[in-house]
Amino acid sequence: MTQVATSPELDYSSETYKDAYSRINAIVIEGEQEAHDNYMDLAELLPELQAELQKLAKMEKRHMKGFQSCGKNLKVTPDMEFAKEYFGRLHQNFQDAMAEGKVVTCLLIQSLIIECFAIAAYNIYIPVADDFARKITQGVVKDEYMHLNFGEEWLKANFQESKAELQEANKANLPLVWKMLNQVQEDAEVLAMEKESLVEDFMIAYGEALGNIGFTTAEIMKMSAHGLIR
């Protein structure tokens, strides 16, 4: 939000930039792959929405390929081992919920938390990206709003019976996003992405989503605060 529109001091071919990019790019590639897998899993939990969910999964696969080409363009090898570890706990929580058939928790993790994380990160990245990556990311972020909207619509239509599970899943998963943001803060700064802007954009998108689903302002504030504790 408070970010400058251009960063002429960024040297996309410097070793410092490429080293940080090898982790951030890997996180994004791994995130898109896992988003694909998550929507394929959700298609099993919601057979009546199978076609739509498979379409979302396909978009995530396309995003992954786009970001792989961004790394190649900068001659960076993504550190996929780091990225797998990075998503480990969130991934496990999704898997556990999936095994129990907890569709509400799965939707909160993928379609609300992870999509809002993507929306914040991509919006903050676009003004400071290289020309090639900027074009790719602009195309991707439009899709992410559609994915977030999918989750919002389903949860809004099933709000009363989902409410308690949403609050519980929020409590268990929002703190993980905080840890994840802290963990990449330094690498993000090398790319001229400020942590404060990431947090701000994430909370705006997430709070708005909770409001659209049906939570009151007081409930949203309570749920947001739970992210900061623990």
63, two tokens = 């995003």
Residues near ligand Y39 (CB under 6 A), total: 19
With respect to ligand Y39, which residue has the nearer C-beta, 32 or 41? 32
Question: How near is the Cβ of 164 to Fe ion at its closest, in Å?
Answer: 26
Report how far residue 94's alpha carbon sits from residue 100's, in angstroms, rounded to the nearest whole number: 10
For residue 193, give the 3-state DSSP assignment.
coil
Nearest 5°: CA angle at 196, between 90 and 106?
A: 20
The residue count of the chain comes to: 230
The residue with tokens 């993928």 is 110
With respect to ligand Y39, which residue has the nearer C-beta, 117 or 154? 117
Based on the shown chain and the rule CB under 6 A, indicate whether residue 151 belongs to the binding site for ligand Y39: no
Based on the shown chain and the rule CB under 5 A, indicate whether residue 36 belongs to the binding site for Fe ion: no
62, two tokens = 């396309």
User: Which option in Fe ion, ligand Y39, none does residue 121 bind, with CB closer than 5 to 8 A by kind?
Assistant: ligand Y39
Based on the shown chain and the rule CB under 6 A, indicate whether residue 118 belongs to the binding site for ligand Y39: yes
Report how far residue 152's alpha carbon sits from residue 110's, in angstroms, rounded to the nearest whole number: 11
Question: How near is the Cβ of 90 to ligand Y39 at its closest, in Å?
Answer: 10
Identified binder of ligand Y39 from the candidate list 26, 28, 70, 128, rule CB under 6 A: 28
With respect to ligand Y39, which residue has the nearer C-beta, 60 or 79? 60
Report how far residue 145's alpha carbon sits from residue 205's, in angstroms, rounded to the nearest whole number: 10
Give the dihedral sign, CA 161/145/86/88: positive
With respect to Fe ion, which residue has the nearer C-beta, 197 or 224? 197
Which residues are near ligand Y39 by CB under 6 A?
24, 27-28, 31-32, 35, 60, 63, 114-115, 117-118, 121, 144, 147, 184, 188, 193, 198
